[in-house]
Amino acid sequence: MAVLIKLIIAHLIGDFFLQTDKSVQKKEAEKLKSVSLYIHVLLHGLLSWIALWNIELWYIALFIMLSHLVVDVAKLYLTNKKNKRWLFLLDQVAHIATLVIAWLWLSNFNIVMPSLSSMHFWAFIAGMLFLTAPVSIALKTFFTRWKLDPRKVGVDSLKNAGKWIGMIERLLVFVFIVAGHFEAVGFLLAAKSVFRFGDLNRESNMKLTEYVLIGTLLSFGIAILTGLAYQSLL
């Protein structure tokens, strides 16, 4: 299981931390002609190889790299404005499924798995990484249907402040759940409600209030489920 978690960490790093918006735009515009596409795929192969930490398993890294290329190319040619959100989710499911296949392949060849404590460590790292950029991008993609113009709703805030607040709150919720302090999650939600929804009441904008409420519930919900998933491994 620890090997699978390491491969998932490598995937999260490659897809969400080492890929810029500019490179994504180049891939979408140039598709198979995009150099960014091949750099991205090669990077995934390298990260997978590092995660496996065994030079003799190069064929597994190659399998992951080629599978990633196939999935990404399919997404590039199938994506449009109507299905962008769902293809984003299907794309990630396909990538994770590929990693599961690679892991099962290794298991059939009796690859020695690390200790259980190591699995818990890597699961914790995977949970922390998942709750930062990946969830932020997923929520941003989900909310494209209700994209609000801050100038029209009279909201003046720091650049990317909402994204950073969301990541920090999810990490805190995850840590609280792992530590078994569920009451702290309620306190955090109450504290955010006091500050955030107080401002929204002054703005008197129903759409913005609903937008923030849905985002908050989704953000907290995902963090809680991730924490509970980690606890189930203990």
Per residue in 172-230, pLDDT (tens digit) is 999 999 988 999 999 898 888 777 666 655 555 677 777 888 888 999 999 999 999 99
Model pLDDT, residue 151? 46
**Which one is predicted more confidently, 68 or 153?**
68
33-42 burial code (b ≥16 CB/10 A, e <16): ebebbeebbe
Kindly provide the b/e burial profile for residues 90-113, where b requires at least 16 CB atoms within 10 angstroms of the residue's own CB.
ebbebbeebbeebbeebeeeeeee
pLDDT score, position 233? 83
Contacts of 101 (CB under 8 A, 6+ apart): none
Percent of the chain scoring above 90 in pLDDT: 56
| Residue 161 token pair | 């402040």
- Distances from the Cα of 130 to the Cαs of 92, 97, 140, 203, in angstroms? 12, 16, 14, 33
Higher pLDDT, 65 or 83: 65
Kindly indicate the confidence band of residue 7, based on its pLDDT and cuts at 50, 70 and 90.
Answer: very high
Give yes or no for residue 108 having a pLDDT over 80.
Answer: no
For residue 110, pLDDT over 60 is answered with no
Q: How many angstroms separate the CA atoms of 190 and 213, rounded?
A: 13
Q: Residue 224: how many CB atoms within 10 A of its CB?
A: 17
If we measure between CA atoms, which residue out of 210, 226, 207 comes closest to residue 167? 226
For residues 67 and 62, what is the distance between their CA atoms, to the nearest angstrom? Answer: 8
Question: For a pLDDT cut of 70, what percent of the chain falls above it?
Answer: 86
Lowest mean pLDDT among 7-11, 20-24, 119-123, 191-195: 191-195
Q: Mean pLDDT: which of 132-146, 151-165, 183-197 is highest?
A: 132-146
Q: Which has the minimum average pLDDT: 10-14, 36-40, 75-79, 152-156?
A: 152-156
Residue-level pLDDT at 109: 52
Question: Residue 120 class from Cβ within 10 Å (0-12 exposed, 13-18 middle, 19+ buried)?
Answer: middle
Q: Is the pLDDT of residue 111 over 50?
A: no
Distance CA(156)–CA(9), nearest Å, equals 35
pLDDT confidence bin for 82, thresholds 50/70/90: confident
Rounded average pLDDT over 43-59: 94
Interatomic CA distance for residues 187 and 57, integer angstroms: 47
Burial class (CB in 10 A: 0-12, 13-18, 19+), 215: middle
